[in-house]
Chain A
């Protein structure tokens, strides 16, 4: 069986994205939600790099991926900070119990 690079990359992308999505589907812990989100974004980044490579514009894809890394870091930081505050003020990280914003 012939295994090309693109096969490997695509498998990795699908794996990462699937794991992240599955995590978002089943988990109720806020920290785990954030971790799932991060894993999904890593898959998306890999796609950017891979598509840039295959379309003959590797620098464009990589710079996009870098931008995503920066943005994603901010998301992670803010999300985790929120999680800390939520834990302090509500006393739980279970997203089903966090319903203060719901009328």
Chain B
């Protein structure tokens, strides 16, 4: 009989052991490395799927770590378990994809080790109920993300993109650490579940600091306003990494954090509104930037930011189930899109969409799966993106949420459809460009893409068990269970759905009616210009970097390197300390 405890350990530790093994095999045995990575990641995926059958709520595993760290405990509730499954299954699929994509690449050991290390850490992050341990896993995922963005470390753009991602997510890590320290200071433990069931133990101002610390952490991790700039630059990573870390798993950790702590923070004044506004601004700005970007992967990165904005908005609006369901759908279809884009890039050898075009005939398989993913992204009915996005938009109308944010989100749905169709058109249709040499798509790539494409068509069927698991295992989140029929009634007979569909259709029509709308295009030119400059956020980043470096350069004069002066300063400091103590006493 299967037990949950060993499965939790297997799911976390098997990828880590795999990371070590692949690294120890060495880069001279490339074939064995491929096989090992696939075997270890698939084992983790199978074990996490097995957990779905035997899960039970409450703490399943607990390691005592002494009085100051609390117990390192793991819980398998709906929120964590399904993200763990997403992380391992999509992880396994991206590793299968990588067998073709990374073939012949140097230093494969480093690549696979970090991917496997990441998968294990991500599972730990979502399953643990100890905030300190969560913080550690949180930072491990940031480290792996950095190392994999900079995987091609002879490319300066990749290195700077990785460092940018690391620094910006560190800002978020500080927010999480602050919240963890405050939690420990007031409850004497790091247990998340104790905290979210009795937030009233905290003074309201401390709770407010924690809530906004968590919001900063989530925004930095999920590339939300005002930290969204790292994700597009992270696209220097190999495509499977973009699919796994920067679309399907790690960037969702922020949304997961908000959803996990929502019951504790929802009564903090202004918090839910701030969450909604952060989501709205990210969704809107990223959608506009996706409209003018020409790099295929950057378009997808902006659309990830935009869709994450939807999820953050849903959490703020109180639709935890909607946000998590969209997270699930988004992981599937965005991983599909990134992997398909990776296959196209691998075949064509460029990421610039202006150099592509008319590829549909050469790459029919890639075209089919990419279009399935795009339709899900645009929110066309039947595909999983449609159902989850409608749930989010409906959540935006409930609970007396502000209507103007809902309207903006509706417009973003139209923009999403517009940039998606623009992207598909530029890559697969239109005129064929001269002088292209196209490689065929490998077999392993197809093996990895097929289940994701099927998933993008069908995962919405799982709403019944999905919502049941969440409502049963998360007592304080008050998640309502809905089955497939209810979802159907809920979505199809709501006027909001038809409005949203009309907006989406309008977005698609805008693309085909482009010549007729050239007058409007002229008017919108300045906005496009600002969007291409990423709304000035790159300039702010550059200013901060320059200011920090300039300050460091100026402070160098205080570092004389002369021992005598250093000892003198120590003495002065000592005198000052004594003086303060004397006055204080």
Contact = CB atoms under 8 A, between A and B. Distances in A.
18 contacts: A21-B567, A21-B571, A24-B563, A24-B564, A24-B567, A25-B564, A25-B567, A25-B568, A25-B571, A26-B564, A27-B564, A28-B564, A33-B563, A95-B562, A95-B563, A96-B562, A99-B561, A102-B561
A102 B567 CA distance: 18
B431 to A, nearest CB: 55
Interface in B533-565: 561-564
A7 B194 CA distance: 55
A95 B560 CA distance: 12
Nearest to A27: B564
Given A26-B564, A28-B564, A96-B562, 15 more contacts: A21-B567, A21-B571, A24-B563, A24-B564, A24-B567, A25-B564, A25-B567, A25-B568, A25-B571, A27-B564, A33-B563, A95-B562, A95-B563, A99-B561, A102-B561
Interface in A18-43: 21, 24-28, 33
Contacts of B568: 25
Nearest to A98: B561
- Is the contact region of chain B dominated by helix, strand, or loop, or is it mixed? helix
A95 B565 CA distance: 12
B186 to A, nearest CB: 34
User: What size tier do the contact residues of chain B reach?
Assistant: under 10
Contacts of B561: 99, 102
Interface in A57-103: 95-96, 99, 102
A33 B567 CA distance: 11
B565 to A, nearest CB: 9
A21 B561 CA distance: 17
B381 to A, nearest CB: 63
Interface residues of A, number: 11
Interface of B: 561-564, 567-568, 571
A98 to B, nearest CB: 9
A96 B571 CA distance: 20
B553 to A, nearest CB: 11
Nearest to B566: A24
A86 to B, nearest CB: 13
Contacts of B562: 95-96
A18 B567 CA distance: 12
A49 B459 CA distance: 72
Nearest to A103: B556
A33 B564 CA distance: 10
Contacts of B567: 21, 24-25
A27 B562 CA distance: 11
Q: What 10 pairs across the A-B complex have the smallest Cβ distances?
A: A24-B567, A102-B561, A25-B567, A95-B563, A25-B564, A25-B568, A33-B563, A96-B562, A99-B561, A26-B564
A26 to B, nearest CB: 7
Contacts of A33: 563
B261 to A, nearest CB: 45
A27 B567 CA distance: 11
Nearest to A22: B567
A27 B563 CA distance: 9
B575 to A, nearest CB: 12
Nearest to B563: A95
A60 to B, nearest CB: 23
Contacts of B563: 24, 33, 95
Contacts of B564: 24-28
The residue among B561, B563, B568 with the most chain A CB atoms within 10 A of its own CB is: B563
A26 B567 CA distance: 9
Contacts of A99: 561
B101 to A, nearest CB: 41
A69 to B, nearest CB: 23
